[in-house]
Chain A
């Protein structure tokens, strides 16, 4: 490799590492020495636990709904409606270009008190339909890749000629064969929801990211600690994808919309 190549790689590495190192240093800083005080303060804060677990629940709900929506859709498109694949792909890629702020403003406008019963308006699960939309690109591209790698027709015919119905075929034959794609999509969706600020903030729900912002306005060191925790969540999610055996570098799968 040429010298200029190393130069640009070092620039990239420094740009990636320095902000993290600076944040880590800041999070451990305690007067003139270092300690875990900022982390202890965060973990002792009941609001941290409440918002963290709320975001966790929203992430799980989003993943379940999105997988239930996409696995049958992508399966059916590959099996019976290949003509519709461009349309499904196009719509699935739309959230990449429709800003989350536009999406939530539209959702708040359409689904307001005139239409939606109060108990749903006041529940943070109000966010889940929009989060599922934000997960569209992850879901489609990861599952589409997975389905392309298997022979859907042969598997389906084999399963049905042995007497399995649609549900059994999907659950026992198709799912195990596309599980790496489904898990990759799930991890990316998890990272997305755990970091989603725009929609939660505009709809006035207190999730983990809005809590990070709130802490950041008042306490500097705990905010740095939360930043490290949040970065750790993104790391774990991306590492999870590597561990279930996806090759890294399949760009389309890893790219989501803006925050």
Chain B
């Protein structure tokens, strides 16, 4: 091996030791019992009962927050980046998004408990207006509460990742369309959306991954009472001494598979999106 490769050896060694080997070992661990025998029991367990429910719920919540966060994030980013917006709007939005996208975990759960919990500020304010959220079946500590909370980092994440694509929309295209007599709706239907769609969908895949992986917020908000895959893994690892960690390895490996599928979709979409980007630059 040529000597110049030594310069990058530490990086690859680190990635191997603390990322690739641990993630790969889970594949082996998923097919083993505590005493090292081969078994497919744990992997089969994924497709049954509570584990299957957890995967469904995790995928469902990730899809919903990716769609809602993606749509809202796009509309907000487009409003801020559109020509004619005051110049202060853009840097302000980017800074706030940077903060909100990096603010998550346990504190985020408490922020929403103070807002939409049973005695939260928004809950009380709405109650005075005659709308009692909790009488209408809403609870912050269930599925939709989690959706509302996750959107706090999903929307700004969307704003950060979609902005370059919105910047890539050329003003000339719009002018050309309107010179040819297109209405605003026609412009969006035949030019704007087709160009942006791969980027929007690609960004939504990233949001999907963000929700799917999230552990801390859900743990803190629901005290582990909602069946999501990360919470089940946490429970198996340090909840109960009778539980088998190898079941956790199987569940964790299942997460890697789901993410890998989502990522393959992302790469296909990204390739399509970059076709337009080449024209743009």
Contacts and interface: CB of A to CB of B under 8 A. Distances in A.
A109 B101 contact: no
Nearest to B22: A106
A125 interface: no
Nearest to B237: A202
B26 A209 contact: no
Given A99-B212, A202-B234, A227 B217 contact: no
A198 B216 contact: yes
Contacts of B182: none
A234 interface: yes
Contacts of B94: 248-249
Contacts of B160: 249, 251, 254-255
Contacts of B256: 98, 102
Nearest to A255: B160
B102 to A, nearest CB: 5
Contacts of B91: 248-249
A258 to B, nearest CB: 4
Given A8-B76, A105-B26, A1 B102 contact: no
Main secondary structure of the interface of B (DSSP, over half): helix
A179 interface: no
A125 B4 CA distance: 32
A257 B101 CA distance: 10
A188 B19 CA distance: 20
Given A109-B25, A209-B216, A259 B100 contact: no
B90 interface: yes
Contacts of B51: none
Interface in B11-31: 11-12, 14-15, 17-19, 21-26, 29
Contacts of A234: 99, 102-103
Q: Which of B11, B94, B159 has the most CB of A within 10 A?
A: B11
B80 interface: yes
B215 interface: yes
A31 interface: no
B74 to A, nearest CB: 9
7 tightest A-B contacts by CB? A106-B22, A99-B213, A5-B79, A76-B7, A22-B121, A258-B213, A249-B94
29 contacts: A11-B76, A18-B115, A23-B115, A69-B11, A81-B8, A96-B206, A98-B19, A102-B255, A106-B23, A106-B24, A110-B21, A130-B18, A188-B102, A195-B107, A197-B219, A201-B216, A202-B238, A204-B238, A209-B216, A216-B220, A226-B107, A230-B106, A231-B103, A242-B95, A251-B164, A254-B102, A255-B101, A257-B210, A259-B214
